[in-house]
Structures are given as C-alpha cells and as structure tokens.
Amino acid sequence: MSQDLRVGMVGYAFMGAAHSQAWRTVNHVFDLPLSARMSVVCGRSADQVADAAVKLGWDGHTTDWRSIVDSDEIDLVDICTPGDTHAEIALAALAAGKHVLCEKPLANSVAEAREMAAAAAQAATKGVRAMCAYNYRRVPAVALMRDLVASGRIGTIRHVRAVYLQDWIVDPQFPLVWRLRKEIAGSGALGDIGAHIVDLTQFVTGQTINAVSALTETFVRSRPLPSESSGLSAAGGNGAALGDVTVDDAALFLARLDGGAVATYEATRFATGRKNALRVELNGSLGSLAFDFERMNELELYDGTRPAAEQGFTRILVTEPEHPYVSGWWPPGHGLGYEHSFTHEVRDLIAAIAEGRDPAPSFADALQVQLVLDAVERSAAGGSWIEVEPVLSAEPLGSL
C-alpha cells in the first residue's frame, strides 16, 4: 500500500457528507501513518455526483460503484448507501482486496450480515480490514463512559436504560422516503436508530444482549409518494397518490445481557419535539453513569462510595486532553460536535489498517447487532421472549 490511503466513497447524501468531513479533516488533526486521499465519490446522478465531488472535496466522481471496487487506484471503499446495497458492494470490495467501511446497520437481514462477516473474516487473513460505522462509540464522553465501567468505577452493572428519540416523520403528510420502505431500509426506527443504542450499550457495558421481549408500532401506515417515485400502491384523499409504510415507526423492548444486567430500549421517530435525543444510563452496584447526546460534551457520574453528605451526580466536562480523542482538538472547555465522531471513526480505522489489526466494531460485531434486531422483530411479531442467536465461532466478536 502506498503512503496514501486512497478512498472511494459510494453515496454522497447525509452520511456521505458526514464521512467526507471526516476524511477531509482526520490528517489535519491526528498524526497518522497513512494519509487519507479522497480519490472518487460515486452516485446515481451524473450531474449531482459531479456537484457533490466539488462541494465535498473529492478528486473525481463516477456513477458506477463497480469501477471503484475494480480500480487499482483505490485502497478502501466507504459505503454510505441505503441498506439494500450494503452486502453487494461490501462483498465485491472485500473480494477485490479493498478495505471496507460500511454504514450501519450492516445489512437488511441476518443472512446478508452473516455472509458479510464471513467474507470479512476471510479477507482479514490476507490483511484486508473491515469496519462498521457506529459513530456514537467515538463521542469522547461515551468512550470515557466505557473506560470508567471497565475500570470498575460503578461496580457490577445491574440496569441499562437507553432511548433514541426523533420526530421527523410525525406529520402524516411527510412523504414515503426510502427509510420508510422495508425493501430498501430493512426496518424503520429499529434499524435506523435502535441499532445505535444496541451497539452503544453493548460497547460501554462490555456485555451482549442475549434475550429480548419487544413490541413495534407503525402509527401512520400510508404516506404521499415522493414526486420522483412510481410503482407504489394506492391513491389517497384529494387525489394524492399514497404508498404503504412497511417499517416500524417505534420499537420498544426489554432485554437481558449476558453479564446479568437487565435493560430497556426505546427507539422512535414519533417523539414530538425530540430531534436527536439519544440517552443512556447505567446503574451499577457502586454508582451510576449517564450520557445525553443533547449535552454530548458531558458525562454524569454518581459515586455511591462517597459519604452520604457528599453524594449526588457529578457533571464531568469531557474536554480535557486526557479524555479520549480530545487531545487533537481544542483547549479544555471548547466542546466538540456531531461531526467529530466521524473523524474519530476514520482515525481509528486508519490506525488499525496501518498497524495490521482488525478495527472495531468489526463486521462480526455488527452481525451481533443484526441478530439482536432480528430477535426484536420476531419477538414483536410473536409476543414472546426471544433468545438472540449467537455469532458463529468462525466469526469472533471484536471489541463490543
């Protein structure tokens, strides 16, 4: 591999823009053995992807992702497309000897995720690395939360509470975008935002979910078709064409973790007034920790070993150079934002590639999350507790 890490990215919308910010920034902030080179971006519209290349900082552009996979001038393929295309692109890239960064959730089904994890495990024997892009792991306060748990600061974890609340589809006239179609998105709030809190809680606790009891709900079951769509069913009132919503609007579930903790999870896109409200609280035998993304530079710590007269939650401002990732940025007290989590993500990936080790979360880690999502769907359909399938022994977990 050259000193440059030559990146080809597929997709340039929301996640593509976030990833582009990361690739543009990472070598200006962190000292790394490889330098990210933004070689080519891919999109379906020739005009739009050409504009995106200029705006986002890519050297070239294409409408054919296969040309990126087949190119000898590309070292890493970054997949920022809807879930129905993840498996095909990732499998082709790994077979071609390209490192892969793939957005979450890893796939639209357990079968696809298993195939991807197996391909990544095989590719790793040849020095090819694959990582799934769960960016919230890279928020400094979340990484600190994990460190404190691992050090035993709050003792044995007993309770986990996690919510991810949004409201962007509360209006029933909001159109039937791809995220509301199961054949493209795989699932609704469950996979889109619920996957994040599944991964995040397993990451910070070091425990995996092994059983769930769930319910899901779709509150608005048909929506206006986007003007560019065709071929979907039905016609609505006032002559407006409607299509069926085929994913969940909300998912709630109880869970048991393999370390003995019990947990509750809530993911919804119908929490009116909540824009991107992700919160996780851990209660342990010696204390508690709480993280709220709306205050992302802070972590709350309750130390139950302190004298009663001194007890109460302490606000930790996670902006010191001793905190995870922070030393590359600003002086203490100057907060970071959402985009920095993606920069930290590609920083860790570049370091792993340069050092010849597997990054985390691996495709096997992401498969484990997919197995949880699948168990939630099956539980919601059947109304019973469902055990989460284990990851196969040939697909070892990395650093959940």
Produce one character per residue of 40-79: b if its CB has 16 or more CB atoms within 10 Å, e if not. bbbbeeeeebbebbeebebeebbeebeebbebeebbbbbb
Q: Same structural domain for residues 113 and 184?
A: no
- pLDDT score for 124: 98
- pLDDT score for 77: 98
The answer to the question of residue 43 being in a domain is yes
| One-letter amino acid of 380 | A
| One-letter amino acid of 44 | R
Q: Same structural domain for residues 81 and 157?
A: no
- pLDDT score for 175: 97
- pLDDT score for 159: 98
Q: Same structural domain for residues 63 and 89?
A: yes
Query: Which residues does residue 7 pair with via DSSP β-bridges, in sequence order?
Result: 38, 76
- pLDDT score for 227: 80
The answer to the question of residue 90 being in a domain is yes
pLDDT band at 400 (very low <50, low <70, confident <90, very high): low
The answer to the question of residue 346 being in a domain is no
For 153, 202, 300, the CA distances from 281, given in Å and listed in that order, are: 14, 12, 9
For residue 105, is the peptide bond before it cis, meaning its omega torsion is within 30 degrees of 0?
yes
Q: Cα-atom radius of gyration of the chain, to the nearest Å?
A: 21
Specify the length of the chain in residues: 400
- pLDDT score for 398: 61
What is the spatial distance between Cα 317 and Cα 170, in angstroms, rounded to a whole number? Answer: 34
Number of structural domains (the chain) is 2
Q: Same structural domain for residues 78 and 149?
A: no
- Residue 332 DSSP SS3: coil
- pLDDT score for 393: 54
pLDDT band at 399 (very low <50, low <70, confident <90, very high): low
Mean pLDDT rounded to a whole number for the chain: 95
- pLDDT score for 327: 96
- pLDDT score for 392: 73
- pLDDT score for 232: 44
DSSP per position, 128-178: --EEEE-GGGGSHHHHHHHHHHHTTTT-SEEEEEEEEE--TT-STTS---G
- pLDDT score for 4: 96
- H runs (alpha helix) in the chain: 14-29, 46-56, 65-70, 86-95, 110-124, 140-150, 182-185, 189, 195-205, 338-355, 363-382
pLDDT band at 35 (very low <50, low <70, confident <90, very high): very high
Give the pLDDT confidence of 180-239 residue by residue, as tens digits. 999 999 999 999 999 999 999 999 999 999 999 999 999 999 999 998 644 444 444 455
What is the spatial distance between Cα 302 and Cα 93, in angstroms, rounded to a whole number? Answer: 46
Q: Give the range of the structural domain holding residue 67, as residue numbers without chain letter.
A: 4-136
- pLDDT score for 263: 98
The answer to the question of residue 386 being in a domain is no
Q: Is 232 exposed, middle or buried (0-12, 13-18, 19+ CB in 10 A)?
A: middle
Q: Same structural domain for residues 40 and 87?
A: yes
Query: Which residues does residue 341 pair with via DSSP β-bridges, in sequence order?
Result: none
- pLDDT score for 1: 44
Q: What is the torsional sign of CA 171, 177, 178, 182? A: positive
Angle at 346 between CA 344 and CA 351, to 5 degrees: 95
Give the residue from 99, 121, 136 where a domain finishes.
136
- Here the CATH number for the domain that contains residue 179 is 3.30.360.10
Residues 6+ apart with CB under 8 A from 365: 132, 199, 397, 398, 399, 400
Residues 6+ apart with CB under 8 A from 381: none
Give the pLDDT confidence of 151-161 residue by residue, as tens digits. 999 999 999 99
- pLDDT score for 386: 98
In this prediction, residues 372-377 reach a mean pLDDT of 98
DSSP per position, 58-92: -SEEES-HHHHHH-TT-SEEEE-S-GGGHHHHHHH
Pairing of β 298-303 and β 287-292: antiparallel
What single-letter DSSP state applies at residue 225? P
pLDDT band at 318 (very low <50, low <70, confident <90, very high): very high
**Which residue's structure tokens are 């823009």?**
17
Confidence check: pLDDT of 240 > 80: no
- pLDDT score for 168: 97
What is the spatial distance between Cα 303 and Cα 152, in angstroms, rounded to a whole number? Answer: 11
Q: Same structural domain for residues 35 and 162?
A: no
The answer to the question of residue 24 being in a domain is yes
Give the pLDDT confidence of 53-110 residue by residue, as tens digits. 999 999 999 999 999 999 999 999 999 999 999 999 999 999 999 999 999 999 999 9
Q: What is the torsional sign of CA 353, 194, 16, 246? A: positive
Q: Same structural domain for residues 223 and 308?
A: yes
Confidence check: pLDDT of 2 > 60: no
Query: Which residues does residue 165 pair with via DSSP β-bridges, in sequence order?
Result: 268, 277
Confidence check: pLDDT of 144 > 70: yes
